[in-house]
Amino acid sequence: MAANDNACTHDLATSTAVDGGERVLDTMPFAAQFAIWAARAWVTALKLDQSFATVSGDTFRRFELTAAEAALDELFTIVATSASRQIDIRCMKCRLVSSDEMLFQEALAAAQADNAFGAYDALRQWVPPAAARIGFRALYRFAHLLSEKQLHMPAAAPASGETAHRMPSVALH
């Protein structure tokens, strides 16, 4: 995975970025903040060549989420080795949320809602079909393990006039 090595956006004026459509992390529900933080911690561990447990401060073990930690590691290992484009996962200090981090949160929300198509579709925006099929199981497992600990992702808001992650129906006759 090509990590975002651009200058951190936490140095920029927040109001300018918010006007550009980016969300501020601390305005999101805790579950979404946690998921985005976990992704950022995983990428930071990769970039620093350190263990994820060290970078995350052993958070997953402390909250009895070791199975979720393993699922996240499996998912992001697949993304890191198979990404079809650069994925914008920000540094752990950034106050703003990238569109890819929002996509991750939306994929988790879809998986928690048992919307397999929505979760797979979101994952496909990062990786080719074969990698998405392999990574889907880890994504689904991570989402449901978070849900068991009452970390429910907010549902993705559909674009105007659309329903989020639904296949269009067409009359056959």
Structure token pair of residue 112: 């928690």
Q: Is residue 10 situated within a structural domain? A: no
Which sign does the torsion angle of CA 109, 113, 119, 121 carry? negative
Q: How many domains does the chain have?
A: 1
Q: Are 65 and 71 in contact (CB under 8 A)?
A: no
Q: Is residue 104 situated within a structural domain? A: yes
Q: Is residue 2 situated within a structural domain? A: no
Question: Phi and psi (nearest 5°) for 152?
Answer: -95, 125
pTM above 0.75, yes or no: yes
Predicted pLDDT at 19: 52
Rounded Cα–Cα distance for residues 132 and 110 (Å): 15
Q: Is residue 113 situated within a structural domain? A: yes
Predicted pLDDT at 22: 85
- For the segment 65-74, the average pLDDT, to the nearest whole number, is 96
Q: Is residue 173 situated within a structural domain? A: no
Predicted pLDDT at 155: 83
pLDDT tens figures, 27-64: 999 999 999 999 999 999 999 999 998 999 889 999 99
- For the segment 140-166, the average pLDDT, to the nearest whole number, is 77
When mean pLDDT is compared across 31-45, 82-96, 113-127, 154-168, the lowest value belongs to 154-168
- Domain housing 76: 23-148
pLDDT above 90 covers a percentage of the chain that reads 72
Q: Is residue 163 situated within a structural domain? A: no
Q: Is residue 4 situated within a structural domain? A: no
Q: Is residue 124 situated within a structural domain? A: yes
Q: Which residues pair with 96 in a beta bridge?
A: 24
For the chain, first and last CA: distance in Å?
Answer: 46
Q: Which residues pair with 97 in a beta bridge?
A: 23
Q: What is the DSSP letter of 161?
A: T
Amino acid at 81: T
Question: Phi and psi (nearest 5°) for 96?
Answer: -100, 150
pLDDT tens figures, 5-23: 445 655 455 555 555 678 8
